[in-house]
Amino acid sequence: MSTNTKIGNFLYTNSDLPFYSQVLSILNENPKGASFITVAGKPQIMSQFNNDVARSQQKVKSILSSLRMRSVIFETQQPGSSFSVYKIADKDVALTLISEGGKIVERLVQRTADCANTEKVSAVVSNINTNTKKVNTMATKTASKKAPRLFVNPETSKVEPFGAGRPSKAKLAFECNADGQYLNPQAALAFAQQGGKSEDKLTKAELLDLLRKVRAERDEAIAARDTLAGVLGSLNTASVDAEADSDDGDDLDLDAESVDADDEIEATDAE
């Protein structure tokens, strides 16, 4: 299974799609736009960060920045407000992102249901075996030691063993049985919505995406600087032209007064 989904002209990481979906759903419900503070303060967003306002706002700002650079949304200044608001620019892409993110959540929920049903069946079988025959506890303990702990690798979507050493947060969140069913579906869902990385380090794809974002912001800053320089240059030119016109007028007036004075002198001499 691919870890990315192409929507419009861009690739989106599947683990981030549910969060994209939530943010766009909030903007879709607010046609007049919403600030990043409003979006980050929604209960469905805050709950994913244990009501940590700083972490929630940081993640929302990152998602909004990505969506803005991909022209899915646009930023505008709300009249009478000191905050910018974000509105949906490309309705088709936005609705597709909302739909795809919802599908991923549905698949996780289905896995949760399947896992719950499996646990119920196992409990029933265990009770039947307990009532019909004596359980060999030593054999059970030996078998459990030999059975490796498994997890669904979020980067490859494959079932892999924990391996030696202390397990990472991703392995614990995505721990599963041999059939790939999560042992703790709620933890898997929460971890996937918060990034779903196996390590704290950024992947190569994420580093490249971050580099593209930084370059885009740099290009925007350069373009804004050049535009400002052009405006200031035109204003300076207009100012110089105005002063030149003013100087020419003064010279003409002085020349006219000089001519009038000469005419008066000549008229006096003639008398």
Ordered by start, the domain boundaries in the chain are 1-147, 209-271
List the one residue out of 37, 129, 27, 21 whose CA is nearest residue 82: 37
* Domain 1-147 indexed as CATH 3.40.640.10: no
Ranges under pLDDT 50 in the chain: 121, 124-125, 128, 131-135, 139-140, 142-144, 198-200, 249, 251-252, 254, 256, 259, 264-265, 267-268, 270-271
pLDDT digits (tens, 9 = 90+) for 225-249: 777 777 666 666 555 555 555 555 4
Find the largest Cα–Cα distance for the chain.
150
What's the CA gap between 60 and 51, in Å, rounded? 13
Pairing, β 10-13 against β 73-77:
unpaired
Average pLDDT of the residues of the chain: 74
pLDDT digits (tens, 9 = 90+) for 19-68: 999 999 999 999 888 988 999 999 989 988 888 989 999 999 999 999 99
CA angle centred on 176, ends 173 and 182, rounded to 5°: 70
Q: What is the model's pLDDT at position 90?
A: 93
What's the CA gap between 34 and 26, in Å, rounded? 8
What's the CA gap between 32 and 110, in Å, rounded? 35
List the one residue out of 52, 184, 33 whose CA is nearest residue 108: 184
